[in-house]
Amino acid sequence: MNALALELNKALAGSSAEKLLSELGRRIYFPKGIVAQSAEADEKAHRFNATIGMAIEGGEPMILDSIRSGLPSLSARESVAYASTAGVVALRKRWRVELDRKNPSLAGKDVSLPVVVPGLSAAISLAADLFLDAGDELVLPDLSWPNYRLIIEERKGALCATYPTFFASGGGQGFNVGGLEDALRASARRAEAAGKGARAACILNFPNNPTGYTPSLAEADAIVAALVRVASEGVALLAIADDAYFGLQYEEGLLTESLFARLADAHPNILAVKADGPTKEDYVWGFRLGFLSFASASLGEAGREALVKKLMGLVRSSVSSSSAPGQYLVLKSLDAPGAEAQKARYRGLLEARYKRARRYLGTHPMPPCLRALPFNSGYFMSFECEGVSAEALRRKLLDEKGIGTISILDRYLRIAFSGVDEGNIEALYAEIAACAEALASGAA
């Protein structure tokens, strides 16, 4: 059991609450991770806040004009009535159209009508409810969103099996497709040995949080081929595409559509699940809206509808339905004049920040204790800290410089360049370098 959970349980010792806790209640805890570190940054990061996964311009969250102007325009039904359990039907249909538009490889493929859920975290949690039992495994790269572990290990009592995210390639680093394939096979063997049949599950999150890495087109082809090879060996394979940062690629030759599109009918033994939403795509982080969609070569229309109804049962028995006003605002925004142009402008701002960070790192060598991991997309990049504590560096930046960053596993420092205006990027990285060098000197 996690040490933080044990600490909370100790505080409840002898109380009636201790006697009433469920197994999940005993396991659950609030991690000292991104959310807690971001809360500290809200108080102390008076210069730059490079913590939370939002896009900031001039100190305020980016917001589409169509969303801002739509807030007072909703009818009474759109504002306060319950939405259907699976979501506003018009939005579900419109989002399905958007999936085809954004993912050319989906052309002609059968996909369930997306179900609306309360955000991407809920999408992952509900998918886990649907497909994972206690003791099952979910294969993840070692560099992944920390909330996966809270959902999978503590809420579900399942296990996260990891593989190294990157491997040395041509003098640089590339995505570790072989590690993913090996991890899936090993997980399937363990499942079969436990009497659960040959089965495995994985999450594919690109652009990746926390590294900001998207596979090249060749790497994407290799990932699909690897999953098909595993499935061809008789393994029932669940592949969840977490597309939280969809569409934010900043270099040529990268995968720009979801792997879900390529896996939707790749093999009868592969069930592809797409977790996405307007959170980052439409700059509405606080709306807490997401979608889950299903596809497989072995699923007919009745099978897809059965999965949708099972998911509806999970939604109904937990949150009942997702927020209606947010759904109607997103629906109106998708067809609002000028909305796509404004999204393109915001994307351009994020790309400019990425390029400024990339240029700075290319012309200003960082201290040996900081090694930039591969990044080419999304909101983030990360340093691997060698010989210094990532948490100590985070604290030094926050307490002495008023700069918020995120430490992960005390080994990696995540920088959300999405939250820092382009003109401040160089100052941000200069301060990170100076603080890291000071820590390394002290350690020496």
Q: How much is the pLDDT for 201?
A: 96
Rounded CA-CA distance 285/279 in Å is 4
Q: Which CATH class is domain 31-62+340-443?
A: alpha beta
The answer to whether residues 311 and 292 touch, using CB atoms and an 8 Å cutoff, is: yes
User: Where do the domains of the chain lie?
Assistant: 31-62+340-443, 74-334
Average pLDDT over the chain reads 93
Q: How much is the pLDDT for 82?
A: 85
For the four alpha carbons of 13, 15, 17 and 22, in that order, the dihedral sign comes to positive
The residues near 216 (Cβ < 8 Å, ≥ 6 apart) are 174, 253, 254, 255
Strand partners, 295: 272
Q: How much is the pLDDT for 443?
A: 58
Instruction: Give per-residue pLDDT as tens, 423-443.
Output: 999 999 999 999 999 999 885
Rounded CA-CA distance 61/419 in Å is 8
Q: What is the mean pLDDT of residues 226-230?
A: 97
Residue 378 has pLDDT above 80, yes or no: yes
143, two tokens: 């560099």
Rounded CA-CA distance 8/26 in Å is 9
Q: How much is the pLDDT for 389?
A: 97
Q: How much is the pLDDT for 59?
A: 86
- Single-letter residue type at 39: A
**Mapped to the 3 state alphabet, what secondary structure does the chain carry?**
CCHHHHHHHHHCCCCHHHHHCCHHHHHCCCCCCHHHHHHHHHHHCCCEECCCCCCEECCEECCCHHHHHHHHHCCHHHHHCCCCCCCCHHHHHHHHHHHHHHCHHHCCCCCCCCEEECCHHHHHHHHHHHHCCCCCEEEEECCCCCHHHHHHHHHCCCEEEEECCEEEECCEEEECHHHHHHHHHHHHHHHHHCCCCCEEEEEEECCCCCCCCCCEHHHHHHHHHHHHHHHHCCCEEEEEEECCCCCCECCCCECCCCHHHHHCCCCCCEEEEEEECHHHHCCCHHHCCEEEEEECCCCCHHHHHHHHHHHHHHHHCCCCCCCHHHHHHHHHHHCCCCHHHHHHHHHHHHHHHHHHHHHHHHHCCCCCCEEECCCCECCEEEEEECCCCHHHHHHHHHHHHCEECEEECCCEEEEEHHHCCHHHHHHHHHHHHHHHHHHHHHHC
Q: Above pLDDT 70, what percent of the chain?
A: 99
- Tokens 């959970």 found at: 5
Determine if the peptide bond prior to 207 is cis (ω within 30°): yes
Q: What is the mean pLDDT of residues 355-373?
A: 97
CATH architecture entry for 74-334: 3-Layer(aba) Sandwich (3.40)
**Bridging pattern class, strands 56-57 and 60-61:** antiparallel
Q: Which tops the pLDDT comparison, 17 or 123? A: 123
Q: What is the mean pLDDT of residues 348-355?
A: 98
Instruction: Give per-residue pLDDT as tens, 26-70.
Output: 887 767 777 778 878 888 988 999 997 888 898 888 999 988 888
Residue 166 has pLDDT above 60, yes or no: yes
120, two tokens: 């991407």
Cα end-to-end span (Å), the chain: 35
Range in 127-136, 158-167, 239-248 with the lowest mean pLDDT: 127-136
403, two tokens: 């700069």
**Bridging pattern class, strands 370-372 and 380-385:** antiparallel
Q: What is the mean pLDDT of residues 116-143?
A: 95
The answer to whether residues 414 and 37 touch, using CB atoms and an 8 Å cutoff, is: no
The answer to whether residues 43 and 283 touch, using CB atoms and an 8 Å cutoff, is: no
Instruction: Give per-residue pLDDT as tens, 388-411.
Output: 999 999 999 999 999 999 999 999
Least Cα distance to 214 among 223, 225, 226 occurs for 223
For residue 442, how many other CB atoms are within 10 A of its CB?
Answer: 10
Range in 28-42, 226-240, 292-306, 416-430 with the lowest mean pLDDT: 28-42
Q: What is the mean pLDDT of residues 214-230?
A: 98
Rounded CA-CA distance 292/354 in Å is 29
The answer to whether residues 424 and 416 touch, using CB atoms and an 8 Å cutoff, is: no
Rounded CA-CA distance 245/52 in Å is 13
335, two tokens: 């067809």
Residue 17 has pLDDT above 80, yes or no: no
This prediction's pTM: 0.90
- Tokens 């992960």 found at: 408
